[in-house]
Amino acid sequence: MILLFLLIFISLDLQAQKVYSVQSDYMADIKVFVTQYEYQADLLVYKVKYDYQAKENNGLWYFTESSYQADKNIFFTKYDYQADLKIYFVDYDYQAKWKNMEKTHLLN
């Protein structure tokens, strides 16, 4: 029973969207570009206030204060062609979602 609980807990944690913004692209797991318009994005992202709110790969991101707390280190690029993933920040949590499902593996 304990083993089952641990497996479920670990699998949920692997999908978490805790991110840390690094200062250099070589330090990043993923390079991200913030688009000006929603239709240009692969993922619509909502910044949550608490880490427990970012549980799945669904666009709810929690920005950590340290790299070791994050599941993914991201670098914000200046140009879209430099990025692995294009995102657009939305105003409400229910708007967060994937627009390009082929890129979901980047955050797993």
pLDDT for res 55: 81
What tens digit of pLDDT does each residue of 5-26 get? 434 444 444 455 899 999 999 9
3-class DSSP state of 8: helix
Q: Where are the beta strands (DSSP E) in the chain?
A: 18-21, 30-34, 43-47, 60-63, 72-76, 85-89, 97-98
pLDDT for res 16: 52
Instruction: Supply the mean pLDDT for the chain.
Output: 88
pLDDT for res 2: 54
Nearest-angstrom CA–CA distance, 86 and 82: 10
Domain segments of the chain: what residues?
2-103
Nearest-angstrom CA–CA distance, 81 and 85: 10
Give the residue among 79, 80, 82 at the shortest CA–CA distance from 28.
82
Residue 60 pLDDT > 60, yes or no?
yes
